[in-house]
Amino acid sequence: MKHAETHPGLDVEGCFGCRIANVRMGTNSTTTRGTEVSKTNDVERSWQKDMPAYKRLRKEGLQPKRIDGSAEVEKKAEHKWQVETGLGIK
């Protein structure tokens, strides 16, 4: 309140009080980027299954095409080429 008395309604150059007077804090910092955060969280949740599956496949000498979906590839692939190409998995 003291700053408002010093510079009422003004934005004085070089005044730290004027500079921070309009800073607002929200309760949830992700509200403006909620969809991006949600997508990132979904990807990270899927990695909890995919990363260990990818590691097991690599330990067996196989090279999955990508980490994403490795858990499903591990479950459904019947041949080495299916793991390495990601094709033919239903």
> Which three-class secondary structure state does DSSP give residue 65?
coil
Tens digit of each residue's pLDDT (9 = 90 or more) over 17-36: 777 776 776 666 555 667 78
User: Consecutive sets of 10 residues in the chain, 90 residues long: mean pLDDT of each?
Assistant: 65 77 65 75 90 94 91 91 82
Residue 35's pLDDT is: 76
Where along the chain do its domains lie? 2-27+46-85
**Of 34, 70, 27, which is closest to residue 50 (Cα–Cα)?**
70
Place of tokens 């921070």: 20
Q: Where are the alpha helices (H) located in 1-90, listed in sequence order?
A: 2-6, 16-20, 34-59, 70-76, 80-85
